Amino acid sequence: MPGRHFLQIPGPTNVPDRVLRAMDMPTMDHRGSEFQALGKRVLSGIKVIFQTEKPVVIYPASGTGAWEAALVNTLSPGDLVLMYESGQFAALWKKLAEKLGLRTEFLSGDWRSAAKPDAISDRLKADTDHEIKAVCVVHNETSTGCVAPIAEIRRAIDEAGHPALFLVDTISSLGSIDYRHDEWGVDVTVGGSQKGLMLPPGLSFNALSDKALDAHEKSGLAKSYWDWAEMLLVNKNGFFPYTPATNLLYGLDTAIEMLLDEGLAKVFDRHARHGEATRRAVRAWGLDVLCEEESQHSGSLTAVLMPDGQDADQFRKVVLDHFNMSLGAGLGKVAGKVFRIGHLGDFNDLMLLGTLGGVEMGLAIAGVPHTPGGVRAAMDFLSGQRRAGGDAKVAAA
């Protein structure tokens, strides 16, 4: 088809030309002084994105690798980990933990809301012997579009007087939704390159706390590739203990620069604005947003429930065949029932309206019951925001 492909899944996201050009460089000597300067820049810059003063470890891996690194560096065989069933990615992290020889306890969730601080607090208060060694929560659940209140969960852990480590997955929120590793008292934050950081897949991250580093000294799970100690030792001089993903680090350097040039507050406001515009379109169509909690709506993606009797995957195929646009599939318990609209990364108002236009035309072609006018509802909201001052916060709309 003529024109560009619209990649509107919730990651991997569109990689901006500026980042592509940054990666289009000869591979350098990863033991030389030129790389050392690059290494120091990205290791320093990524801390700003996580909003931390503590070390951030960068792996050549997907987010799954960062999940594993967070667990093996802090825990020992047989340790009990408390997790919350917020969606498919929480379930996958649980499965990985069990494969590593950890015991898991999964607090039930309905896949229409995020992790609940009260439920976590109640369970920790009941754990008087402090058998639970870590609490693992997904910040932005990519399968549902629900955002967990991380600061509130931290307070709930503290109020329970429990010493468990706090591990958080930000794979689909880092660089898109406000996240404060230090201020919110997180011990290990997991991240990935292929979403809000506007890079191809291939880099993953662990942001650390002093408590996490202390836990590393006592951890008993086997680790070699993922070992923080090896990384942190050579990272001090801008290097890595094994061959890094050199050209992806070129791209990361530029992606960090782009995010900081825009300003993190403006980045977060932009994503919130696009999330709100998308939800207004969905409601105007007469469809339901999967996430039911108003305070938990995501700026990264919107998961849309199909009407009864309608197949989300067939609808996605219609949109792809007619408009060369990829929408995210429903995963796990909501497979076939949900399609997901990604609105994160290198993204602007016109790209969103093109996306929503493709969805609205697809609904008509596929014969999905709906009311036309979703694109108009999004346009009205976005133009109103512009009239109110361009970068006005969504809450002030």
Q: How far is it, in rounded angstroms, from Cα 44 to Cα 263?
A: 16
- CA distances (Å), origin 344, targets 12, 42, 65, 275, 303: 10, 22, 22, 9, 13
Binding site listing for substrate: 340
Q: How far is it, in rounded angstroms, from Cα 117 to Cα 155?
A: 8
3-class secondary-structure state, position 325: strand
Confirm if 199 and 252 have CB atoms less than 8 A apart.
Answer: yes
Structure tokens at 44: 């320093």
Confirm if 112 and 148 have CB atoms less than 8 A apart.
Answer: no
Q: CB-based contacts of 80: which residues, under 8 Å, 6+ apart?
A: 102, 103, 104, 105, 131, 132, 133
Cα-flanking dihedrals φ and ψ of residue 161, to 5°? Answer: 65, 35
Binding site listing: 340
Q: How far is it, in rounded angstroms, from Cα 113 to Cα 315?
A: 25
Q: CB-based contacts of 156: which residues, under 8 Å, 6+ apart?
A: 117, 118, 120, 121, 124
Q: CB-based contacts of 317: which residues, under 8 Å, 6+ apart?
A: none
Cα-flanking dihedrals φ and ψ of residue 156, to 5°? Answer: -65, -40
Q: How far is it, in rounded angstroms, from Cα 16 to Cα 5?
A: 14
